[in-house]
Homo-oligomer: A and B are copies of this chain.
Amino acid sequence: MKKSAELVLAVDLGGTKLRSAVVSKYGKIAAVSNLKTEAEKGPEYIIDRLVESLGTLIAENQFSNKDISGICIAVAGPVDVKRGIVTSSPHLPGWHNVPLKKIIAERTGIRTFVDNDVNAAAIGEYVFGAAKGVTDFVYIAVGTGLGGGIIINGQLYKGADGAAGEIGHTIIKENGPKCSCGNCGCLEALCAGTAIEREIRKKLKKISATEVARVYGKAANEITAKDVGKAANEGDLIACEVISNAAYYLGIGLANVINVFNPQMIVLGGGVIKIGDIYVSPAIEVARETAFELPASTVKIVRSKLGDDTGILGAAALIS
């Protein structure tokens, strides 16, 4: 790859992984650094390691700062984009109004941008992924929670304060289960990772610990949404029921998105989508049956093409 200012440093700062990469403007990843975030150690520690890893990435690959046109950091949590401040994050304890943009720019001497990871992923899908060339679509990330990124006219729609896209926190079931946001019956609380984990624990209460251990190889309170997906894919009926219920609610959420946005496409990303057809197919079916006929028949509903690189390619796309 040519050394030029066409390269960016893209960072995916998640609750468990801290990935950094040198990325070309065409989305080619030239070099990667994979670290554990060690979120519990707080912002100062993480920022030190981030700066160090960026320095190493540049040095080891014999780049200089001049080759890099900018740094973009996609953060798992709400970001005040204009000021480059991480306002808070459920996944990053201790991060309250951290002026990440200013800190990184000062310590590296490279212009820096900070944005939310779901926004970054949406732009990543538009520039490099499943929605290449699709000007109006909605990206939905189903992981522990559920986030949305709205692309209108080829631009990320951020709303008045950069807070748009909180599709996970639309209420779809009055008096439904408590959500991380404090409300009840949000889409996120019905279909995302925490919902799947809550529901499987509820159901496994009636099942003997031995039986639970036989299926899952662990205790009920250690089971993750990924484990439930695996068990469902292997035919465990209780797991199938939990996944099927979650898929139903995801389908209702997709139908609401279709009726409001009449999008050309919906891109589904995030860890829970990796559970696969057993989760995604019934959700799409419910969405197409529930939404109005015309928008339901024209919308393409596809999965992310960027996989584990969504974060860094999204970050790269934000400044490319």
Contact = CB atoms under 8 A, between A and B. Distances in A.
A298 B160 contact: yes
Given A261-B159, A298-B160, A174 B171 contact: no
Contacts of A153: 152-153
A319 interface: no
B298 A259 contact: no
A1 interface: no
A172 B172 contact: yes
A163 B252 contact: no
A173 interface: yes
Interface residues of A, number: 40
A295 interface: yes
A148 interface: yes
Chain B CB within 10 Å, residue with most, of A160, A162, A169, A262: A160
A162 B262 contact: yes
Given A171-B255, A252-B171, A263 B160 contact: yes
B260 A164 contact: yes
A10 to B, nearest CB: 25
Contacts of A281: none
A314 interface: no
Interface in A235-267: 252, 255-256, 259-264
Given A152-B152, A152-B157, A294 B163 contact: yes
Contacts of A169: 259, 292
Contact of A262 (B159, B170, B262): B159
A12 B219 CA distance: 64
Contact of A295 (B161, B170, B181): B161
A165 B294 CA distance: 13
A105 interface: no
Given A166-B259, A181-B292, A260-B260, A160 B172 contact: no
A247 to B, nearest CB: 14
A176 B173 CA distance: 9
Nearest to A164: B262
A173 B170 contact: no
Contacts of A181: 292
Nearest to A135: B160
Contacts of A163: 259, 262, 292, 294-295
A183 interface: yes
A290 interface: yes
A35 to B, nearest CB: 31
A305 interface: no
A58 interface: no
A114 interface: no
A166 B152 CA distance: 17
Chain B CB within 10 Å, residue with most, of A157, A167, A298: A157
17 contacts: A153-B153, A158-B262, A159-B295, A160-B262, A160-B263, A160-B264, A161-B262, A161-B295, A164-B260, A164-B262, A166-B262, A170-B255, A171-B172, A172-B172, A174-B176, A174-B252, A260-B260
